[in-house]
Amino acid sequence: MRRITSLLIVLLSGLLLAGCATKTRSDALTTTLKAYGSTLRWGDFQSAAQFVEPKVRAAHPLTSLQLARFQQVRVTEYNDDAGPVPTGDFDVQQTVVINLVNIHNQSERSVVDHQTWHYDEATRHWWLTSGLPDITQD
């Protein structure tokens, strides 16, 4: 009987710890997505690049042309109402519609940004693996 009780205690402890880890991961995702969205709403693409997973950022650094394009637009809306959709234990996808105004000719257009986020257990951090939005799309 003691053996069964001990086993139950161990199993319940494991479930509680797993639940805590999931809640911590979920809270971190919410915080990260809000911070990223806020950064883009303010049009701070250089700061937004810091959300990109370091290996992706190193493999695909922002070019001077990309930075110049980002400086030519103002973000007028960042619509993330659809919210993140889990695609695995450590991955989510989110589709965002970003409205941009060209500061030179005041034309407005929308781009759809398909974001992929991955949770790194070692650093306990969510990283954007899909890169910054492609604002050149029509």
Please report whether residue 135 resides in a domain: no
CATH of residue 90: 3.10.450.50
- Mean pLDDT, range 55-77, rounded to an integer: 95
Q: Which of 71, 129, 128, 80 is nearest to 100 (CA)?
A: 71
pLDDT, one tens digit per residue, over 2-24 is 656 544 444 434 433 344 457 88
Flag whether 36 is in a domain: yes
The Cα 53–Cα 117 span in angstroms is 9
* Structural domain boundaries enclosing 35: 19-128
| Residue 96 included in any domain | yes
Q: What is the pTM of this model?
A: 0.82
Beta bridge partners of 95: 114
DSSP assignments along 85-118, one per residue: EEEETTEEEEEEEEEEEETTT--EEEEEEEEEEE
